[in-house]
Amino acid sequence: MGLPRFRLSKVVFWCVLAIPLGLLANDIRIELSSPTLGLGADPEDAIVDHLGIWSIRYLWFTLFISSLARLAKKPMLVQFRRMAGLWTFFMVLIHVTSYVLLFARVDFATILSDFTERPYIIAGLTGLCMLIPLAITSTRGWRRRLRQDWTRLHRLVYVAAIAGWIHLFWLERASFEESAIYGGILLLLFGERLFQFFRKRHNVNAANAQSAS
């Protein structure tokens, strides 16, 4: 893939990732002109839910890019992972911000009360805290500085994913169908990584045994 074509593909990828946020902005525009038509009877809840579910989808998609690159033997796909990861962080950040503004009304007493009464908020904030160092150190400069520690640090994405799933699981009250679907997808993504890990270790052990014989 030539450089101009690669840059164009990244621009297109960025635009695709921006679609869910653009759709939400359009719904808000409709809501402001015609109440209940854009966001339904509970617009605050609709905004927070939209940002939350897309945060999880973006995070799962970021993990999927790595799996796809390995399974399809297309390592260049990994270069799109950083953009997807930054979009994930951005969506989680504005999801939390929307909760603070629309639900808690920037009332820290309400936020502290929610911590004790709604444990799913703690899980969500844990996911955000895991993503902060990943977003900060996502540049090539940080990767060069941290070297092998960079890979270890970015394993926090798995903690963020588990925290995100727990957040969704605890948030669902009547039905757990959605969290079951996302949990199943996450298990597949984790399973692929475990398979690659054990296969790599097996190959290393086989190579060591062959060299020793």
What pLDDT, on a 0 to 100 scale, did the predictor assign at position 202?
Answer: 80
Q: What 8-state DSSP symbol labels residue 175?
A: -
Residue 93 lies in a domain: yes
CB of 104 closer than 8 Å to CB of 124 = no
Residue 172 lies in a domain: yes
31, 57, 187, 208 from 165: Cα distances, Å: 30, 11, 11, 39
Q: What 8-state DSSP symbol labels residue 39?
A: S
What pLDDT, on a 0 to 100 scale, did the predictor assign at position 163?
Answer: 98
**Number of domains the chain is built from:** 1
Residue 30 lies in a domain: no
- Considering only CA atoms, which of 67, 66, 65 is closest in space to residue 17? 65
First to last CA, the chain: 43
- Within 34-176, residue ranges assigned H as helices are 43-71, 81-98, 108-117, 119-136, 140-146, 148-153, 156-171
- Considering only CA atoms, which of 91, 65, 93, 89 is closest in space to residue 79? 65
Q: What is the extent of the structural domain holding 76?
A: 48-206
The span from the CA of 204 to the CA of 101, in Å, is 52
What pLDDT, on a 0 to 100 scale, did the predictor assign at position 4?
Answer: 76
Residue type, 140: R
Residue 171 lies in a domain: yes
Residue 27 lies in a domain: no
Residue type, 98: S
What pLDDT, on a 0 to 100 scale, did the predictor assign at position 124?
Answer: 94
What pLDDT, on a 0 to 100 scale, did the predictor assign at position 2?
Answer: 59
56, 81, 142, 159 from 60: Cα distances, Å: 6, 11, 24, 12
What's the pTM?
0.92
The span from the CA of 87 to the CA of 43, in Å, is 23
Residue type, 145: R
Residue 40 lies in a domain: no
What pLDDT, on a 0 to 100 scale, did the predictor assign at position 137?
Answer: 97
CB of 108 closer than 8 Å to CB of 99 = no
Residue 114 lies in a domain: yes
Residue 25 lies in a domain: no
pLDDT in tens, the chain (213 residues): 556 777 889 999 999 999 999 999 999 999 999 998 999 999 999 999 999 999 999 999 999 999 999 999 999 999 999 999 999 999 999 999 999 999 888 998 998 898 888 889 999 999 999 999 999 999 999 999 999 999 999 999 999 999 999 999 998 876 789 999 999 999 999 999 999 999 988 887 777 777 766
